[in-house]
Every structure is written in structure tokens, then in C-alpha cells.
Chains A and B, each alone.
Chain A
Amino acid sequence: MMIFSPEKPKENWWTKLLSRLLGTKPAIQESVKESNPFLERTIENWLNSANEMGYLMPFSQLLLSEEFSICHTSRQNAFEQGKDVVALDKHGSSHAFQLKGGNITHSRWLKEVKGEIEELIDLAIEHPSVSKGSKHKSYLVTNGELEDTVRVAIDNLNSNKWKENPLEVITYGQLLRGFVALSNTFVPQKVGNYKTFLDLYFSNGGGLIDERIFSDFIADVLRLKEDGLFKEERRRNVAAAVLYTSYILAPFKKENNHIAIIQILTLLGSHIMAVAEKFSLPEKYWEESFKIIQDEIFLTGGRLQEEITNDGLVTLVNSMWDGEIGSYRRHLAVSYLFSFKLAQLFEKNTLWNNAVNDAFFVKLKDSMKLWGEGAIYSLIVCFLYVNRALSKKEDDRAFSPLFTALEAVLKFNSPDSKFGLLSPYYGITFAIKRRYGQLEEPLDEKFTGRSFLIRSLIDLLARHSRRLELEKYWRAITHIAQDKFIPEELWQHFTWHCDKGDNQSEFSNQTQSWIELVKNANAIDFDSIPKTIQTHLSFLPLFLLVYPHRINSNYIKFLDETVKNA
């Protein structure tokens, strides 16, 4: 068992573990520059209230920061051979960790934990990165404490039955020190930073996060505006960003708010991509952190699907206002679900099409709400998913979301219309506030006569040979200006707001050759899509969902192409 000495904070379980296993001085020590009692209290508060799944991601990040590489993290609630995390140290030796939340009492040890630990120790790791039959070190990790009787029991087992492969134990104090040390890579320097962090940490976990506030904060943690940092510093900044996000996720995890968790993780992943793209950071400095974020997204997506399967769209009602607000909530749930299922498809996960059956579709019926152009993307992913999953390809039924979207744009955004659909710069929260007269100031922008998403819809229909329908709509289409925003540099696609870039607006040809239209719809400009997202395709559907103002026809064509090739 590892020993924690409060008198020598730098000699914690990490330093001991590493000096024993790797014979090197851990990077974490270098980052312990100064302590911040407020930050430490916040981390303490967070760690005290997290369950095992609540600290899985930051624990994985802690391992990465100590030069382990993660082979596996739990993606399901299902117990996986007692191993929540499997990691390799830099010598290639394998380590398996079982994570628990809270104190382990004697009765809990006997009823729940001991059996799992036996599996953790006895069952060999089955993973392509681990040589068959090789031995692994086993760890019981808890953010609580062990009762003395449990400690004695483990000591006894380590001296006898588990002598060949003794169990190491990591408890609350050791975890806390590890998280504090790594978090100190970014200590909020400005009061504003710290206030933002606390505001986010104590926010109401039932809603969505304010994207702009979180993005500004996480860009600071990642030091996105600072040039001239060493690559190792960038790696540590990425690690700190993962940890801070884990703290911020706490209120949302407490509420099991899967949608906001995916939203926040997507914002985090996007900002890490911004760093990678901007500074041409080799994958080895960010890829593994990014992977644990994706693992957490997939884990959460699975839970969202489970909730919907268990009639979550019906049982969501928690106030008399849900007759009105419920439709927006259902819309978000279904939008995130379809984007997650496409992400699974791109990841070649065999579960990707398990949402395609009549019983499930009945649950989703009437769950889409066209509250603005930002909602059109949800109809696009619904089409892409259903069209790919149905046994009969290009089935007319699959196209109905696209026609609904196009007809709505042509009706509401025509130059003669009184009310246009909100542009993608206005999110669902704004749309709800506007609908119920809660805007702080009147909206003075006009949306008629133009559309950000119409080009994407036209190109999708052309790519899928829907000439007849486009012929019917073409005259109306030519009256609507097609808007888009192109950030000046590719890395800026991942930032929430861009100071530099070009707002472009153009019309379709009045007389348009079908052949030419199809040709253009099939041409994808890969140079205009950041390389990082081209190499991490499963992130694409969620990135576009969370960043609707970055959607343009080129992205949608690329998404469609990726679905075709998946």
C-alpha cells in the first residue's frame, strides 16, 4: 500500500509510484509552484461529492500526466472484469484500476468490493495493447477512506493469497493531492477567472452551460492566446483543462444532465483541437487527453440513450410549464441522441444502429421543434442517421426532416415574410426567452431574406438526387441570400467567437443547371476543414451540433460523405 505523508506534500503517492516504476522525476512535481487555498477547497468540495464515474475522467488524466498511456476506460455501467481503467507505464507494464466512490466499510468490502477486486487481480487483462497472459498491477481507488478492518483485511490478503500480485490502495488524500498538483498548472490569476470558475462550478446543473463563458474560461486555461510555449507546457495546459472541466461538470453530473455534459465536453474537446491546430501540436501531446474526453462523451451518450429508452421523453415533466418548455427539452434530447449515434457510426461501434426500430421511433415522435435555424442541423442528422440505418436506402420517409426544414426556411425566411427563423447565432435558450418575453432587451435583427442553413439543405438534396423537389422549390430558393461565416484561420473554427473572419452572402443562380448543381454538391473543399477534425471523425457530429454557427454547406457535405463511407 502506498503511503501518503502530509508533511511532505511533494512526496505523494504519484511521486512514490513513479520513482518506483519509472525511475524518473514526475512532471507533476514541477508544476506544484504555489498553493491556492481557495482552489484546494473547491477541489476538495468536488472530490467529496463525486461518485466513481464523476472522477473517472480526471483520474485518467492524472495517469496520463504521469506518462501512463490509457488502454481502456469504462464506457458502460456494466462491470468490466473489475477494471475501470487499464493503463501502461512507459516500460510497457500494465496497471489495472478499480474506482469506487465514498468510504469502504467492512460490510461494503464484503458485499460489493472484495469480489470485484478478486476479478481485478485474478482475471488477465484482455486488450490488444497488453500481451496475453502478462501480469498486471492492481489498484483499488476510492475518493473516500477505508475502514481499519478493511485495511487489515487487504494487508492480510496481500501477505498471503495476493502475495504474487498485491493490491495497491489509493484513497481520498492521495487523490486530492494529485488533483491539486495538476490543477496548479493553471491557477486562476485574475479574480475574474476565479469568479468565472466558481460561477460555473456552482451553476445550476439542470440547464445548458453558457457556451461563451465556458469557452472564454477554458481558452484561458489552455493559454490559447499565448504563443511561444513549449510543447510540454501545452500538454500540461491540456491536462489542467480536462481537470477544471471535470470540476465544472460536477453539478451537471449530480443532476444526470447528460445533454449538458456532452455539450461541455464537446466545447472542451473543440478548444483542445484549437490548440492542436493553431500550434501544430503533435498528437502525442494532446491525443490521449482528447481520447478520455471522447470516452466520457460516449459513456454519457449511452446513458442518454438509456434514459430515452426508459421513456425519459415522457417522464421528463417536472413542472406545469413543461406543456410549453417540454418540447424544447425533447428536441435537445433527440438532437444529442442522433448526433451521438452518428458519432458511434463513425467510430465503427456496432451499437450505432440500435436506435432504429419502430418502438424506439415511436418514443421520438414529434420530438423535433424548429425553434430557429440552429435546430435545422438536428433535422439534418436525423435524416443522415435514419437514411443510413434503414434497410431501404434513400427511402422517401427518411427525407421528410429535410423537406420540413427547407419548407420552413422558404416560408419564414422569404423576403416577404414578417418573421424569419433565428440565425444560428441564437441558441435554444435565447429562443425560449424570446418566445416567453424574457429577453433583457428587444431583438432588433432581421432574419428574413437570408438563411445560414439553406445551402446545406440544397446540397444535401442534390447529393441525394432529389431533383423533383428542388425543382419545385427553386424559384423560392433563389430569392433567399445564403449566408456563411468563414473564420480567418482554421483553428478559429473551434473557438466560440472569432474576431477575424469573413461574413459572406450570396444567391443561388436563377437558372441553374442540375448537372452543375450536383457536381458542386459532390465537391468537398477539404482544405477548408481543420485537419484535426478530419482525423477525429467521430467528434464531427457533436462539434456541429454544439457550434451551429460554424455550420456551412462544406461541413454538411463532408458529414454526409463520412456517413456514406462509414
Chain B
Amino acid sequence: MIIDFPKIKENLHKGMEIFLRQEINRKAPFAATIGKHFFHEGDKSSYETVDREKKALDFKRGESQFTVTRDEMNKLTIKDIIQKVQGIAEDMAGQIERNLFQTMNETIEKSGNTIPGNPPFSPEAFLKGLEMVEIDFDEDDRNKPQLPTLVMHPDLAKKAKEQEANMTAEEKKAFDEKMKAMIDKKYDDFLTREAKRKLVD
């Protein structure tokens, strides 16, 4: 064979894999906010939810590929490779985010944690949604609620912003008061919940 530079190629490949993972994180922003746990061994996994419900974790395969001919290989520039990796990252990120939302939807529907009647998005629906989830508070401080992340389609996000902009001063005031009352209640719930975390006889 003609002399080669295998170590350099190996390092380039490693660099490409790191770049791929970074690109996937960039293109799957919601999944990227969730911490990753690696399973270093084994083929099964089970976990408990915060409600202490035991669940088996269903591993889902994610894969993508690109093919190049021998002829193409000889002409590929680093720019071409980056483009191909970005394509894979796009595909993988799509799979990951779709799986994530599918699993969340299944879990939410199973537990009945959906807003009754599935109303269109509105300030009332938003408050109703918040009412249905547990909220914790940083440093036990009433003013530091850990509010959930809202994920929506860009069209809906635009619409939601318009709705907010179109609210009258009275409507805004009423919404803020309802929100404050709800956070107060959530704070009480939080304190009650946390008070249960203790050793007893």
C-alpha cells in the first residue's frame, strides 16, 4: 500500500464525532437542556418518577447515515464532510426531539395530565396548565419558582405573543393577580410537600 497517516485520520474522525454531538445538541435545543445519564453497562434500566412510580426505561435506537462512493471519497474536502455531518446531526436531532415529545405525550395522556377539552392556547389555558403541575422553589423562596419550560410551534409562539400584546390593561392585571394567587398556592403546596420529607419514629 501507499504510505498512510492513520493516526491523523483517527484524530480527525474523533474530532468529527465530537462536532457531530455538538451539532446534535445545537439542533435539538429542548433535548439539550435535559441532562444526560450514560448507562456504562448493562442492557436494562428502571427508574422511579418523583411520584415514586417505578418504570422500565425503553431504549430507543437513533441512527443516521451518509454514503460516499470511492470516487467521491477522493474529492471530499473538509467543508464537504462538515456539511454531511451537519445533515446527519439534523436527522438525529429530529429523531431525538420527536422521540422525546412522543414519550412525553404518551406519559401525559396515560396519567391524564392533559387540560380537559384540549382548549386552544390562551392565558386561561396557560394558567390551567400551570395549575396541573408541581412547582418547586429555589432556596425555599416564594419569589424563586422553578417555572416549567413552554415548548410550542413557532407559529403558535407568534400567536401567543400577539395575544399577550392585545390584552387590555385590565386583562393583564387580572391575569397577573390570578398568576400571583396560583404561585402563592403552589408555594403552600411546595411547603406542605417538603414538610413531609422527614424521618419519623
Contact = CB atoms under 8 A, between A and B. Distances in A.
A471 B46 CA distance: 28
Interface string B34-61: 0111111111111110101010010000
B44 A507 contact: no
Interface in A461-514: 467, 470-471, 474-475, 478-479, 481, 485, 487-488, 497-507, 509-514
B16 to A, nearest CB: 11
B43 A481 contact: no
A444 to B, nearest CB: 6
B139 to A, nearest CB: 8
B201 A503 contact: no
B198 interface: yes
Contacts of B200: 511-514
A467 B45 contact: no
A501 B21 CA distance: 27
Contact of B42 (A478, A481, A499): A499
Interface residues of A, number: 42
Contacts of B48: 481, 505-507
Given A481-B47, A511-B200, A501 B37 contact: no
Which of B42, B48, B201 lies at the interface centre, i.e. has the most chain A CB atoms within 10 A of its CB? B42
B170 interface: no
Interface string B81-102: 0000000000000000000000
B21 A444 contact: yes
B43 A506 contact: no
A94 B36 CA distance: 61
B46 A503 contact: yes
B197 interface: yes
Contacts of A504: 45-47
Interface in B8-37: 14, 17-18, 21, 35-37
Contacts of A499: 41-43
A79 interface: no
B138 interface: yes
Contacts of A500: 42-43
Interface in A366-402: none
Contacts of A448: 35
Interface in B144-201: 193-194, 196-201
B35 A498 contact: no
A506 B47 contact: yes
Nearest to B50: A507
B194 A475 contact: yes
A441 B16 CA distance: 11
A507 B197 CA distance: 12
Nearest to A517: B199
Contact of B199 (A474, A501, A505, A506): A474
A488 B198 CA distance: 34
A322 interface: no
A445 interface: yes
A503 B42 contact: yes
Contacts of B45: 502-505
Contact of A501 (B42, B54, B196): B42
A472 to B, nearest CB: 9
B40 A510 contact: no
A514 B199 CA distance: 6
A507 B196 contact: no
Contacts of B198: 471, 474-475, 510-512
A450 interface: yes
A485 B40 CA distance: 9
Nearest to B194: A475
A471 B199 contact: yes
Contacts of A510: 193, 196-198
Nearest to A462: B199
Given A446-B35, A475-B194, A517-B199, A485 B46 contact: no
A450 B138 CA distance: 18
B36 A503 contact: no
B29 to A, nearest CB: 15
A470 B35 contact: no
B11 to A, nearest CB: 9
A445 B201 contact: no
A442 interface: yes
A502 B201 contact: no
B197 A470 contact: no
Which of B14, B44, B54, B201 lies at the interface centre, i.e. has the most chain A CB atoms within 10 A of its CB? B44
A506 B57 CA distance: 13
Contacts of B40: 425, 485, 497, 549
Nearest to B198: A474
Given A440-B14, A470-B199, A511-B197, A502 B21 contact: no
Given A446-B35, A510-B196, A514-B199, A498 B42 contact: yes
Contacts of A444: 21, 36
A347 interface: no
Nearest to B21: A444
A7 to B, nearest CB: 44
Contact of A505 (B38, B41, B47, B197): B47
Nearest to B195: A475
B138 A503 contact: no
B83 to A, nearest CB: 22
A425 B128 CA distance: 43
Interface in A513-530: 513-515, 517
A513 B196 CA distance: 12
A306 interface: no
A416 interface: yes
Contacts of B201: 513-515
A312 interface: no
Interface of B: 14, 17-18, 21, 35-48, 50, 52, 54, 57, 138, 193-194, 196-201
16 contacts: A444-B36, A467-B199, A474-B199, A475-B198, A479-B197, A485-B41, A487-B41, A501-B41, A501-B42, A501-B44, A502-B46, A505-B45, A509-B52, A510-B197, A511-B196, A514-B200
8 closest Cβ pairs, A-B complex: A446-B35, A501-B42, A503-B45, A475-B197, A505-B47, A502-B44, A425-B40, A478-B197
Given A502-B46, A513-B200, 20 more contacts: A416-B138, A441-B18, A442-B18, A446-B35, A448-B35, A474-B199, A498-B41, A498-B42, A499-B43, A500-B43, A501-B42, A502-B45, A503-B39, A506-B47, A507-B50, A510-B196, A510-B197, A515-B201, A549-B40, A549-B41
